[in-house]
């Protein structure tokens, strides 16, 4: 979605006293993706989403003056990825796709990292 569309959603979120927002889950964009699967349709998640997700988290944090809790998700696989989401304004960070590839030991690995 465009930033203008996101801003409309954020206005509705604030007007309706929504408690938090999850940003982001998937993208349909394939910009910069260098994979034989580049032409697939549907939602893309995981590592290719990492930078876009972090930028969107930062935008949401700025627009809401940091008053809306943000659950950051998208391309989180390392402690550095978690820290980047927190630095951008996330209150919490969610693992999803990386659990499929790395397995249930991933959260403990990130914490130790």
- CATH code at position 9: 3.20.20.70
Give me the domain span that covers residue 93: 3-31+38-112
Q: Could you report how far apart the first and last alpha carbons of the chain are, in Å?
A: 33
| pLDDT digits 0-9 by tens, 24-65 | 877 666 676 677 777 777 666 667 778 889 999 999 999 999
Determine the pLDDT at residue 91.
97
**Which residues, at least 6 apart from 74, have a Cβ–Cβ distance to it below 8 Å?**
23, 24, 25, 45, 46, 49, 50, 52, 53, 54
| pTM for the predicted model, two decimal places | 0.84
> How many domains are contained in the chain?
1
Percent of the chain scoring above 90 in pLDDT: 62
């Amino acid at each position: 979605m465009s930033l203008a569309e996101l801003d409309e959603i954020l206005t509705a979120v604030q007007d309706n006293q929504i408690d938090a927002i999850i940003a982001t889950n998937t993208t349909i964009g394939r910009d910069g993706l260098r994979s034989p699967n580049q032409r697939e349709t549907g939602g893309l998640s995981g590592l290719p989403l990492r930078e876009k997700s972090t930028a969107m988290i930062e935008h949401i944090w700025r627009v809401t003056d940091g008053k809306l809790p943000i659950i950051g998700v998208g391309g989180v696989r390392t402690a550095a990825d978690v820290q980047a989401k927190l630095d951008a304004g996330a209150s919490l960070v969610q693992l999803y796709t990386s659990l499929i590839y790395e397995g249930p030991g991933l959260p403990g690995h990130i914490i130790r990292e």
